[in-house]
Amino acid sequence: RKAYAQRTVCDRLFEEIDNALRQLESNRDYCVLRKHYLDCLTWEQIADEMHYSVRRVYAIRRKSVERLRL
């Protein structure tokens, strides 16, 4: 029961974070943040998957976080 209750809490948090990220206008920005914060990929993995440099991914992350209205 405790595990099920914890899973419910985690699912709600996941949904809340995803909804916050969806306020980003750019699908690219959303994907970068979602891949890191919800899919647990490293910045290097994201850069490789999206064909960006790691430096570019960091820049996207920084600007995207600034745009979020939390």
pLDDT of residue 33: 97
Mean pLDDT of 27-55: 97
pLDDT in tens, 6-36: 999 999 999 999 999 999 999 999 999 999 9
CB burial string 32-60: b at 16+ within 10 A, e below: bbbbbeeeebebeebbeeeebeeeebeeb
pLDDT of residue 55: 98
Asked if 30 contacts 38 with a C-beta cutoff of 8 angstroms, the reply is: no
pLDDT of residue 69: 81
Confidence of residue 1 (pLDDT cuts 50, 70, 90): confident
pLDDT of residue 70: 77
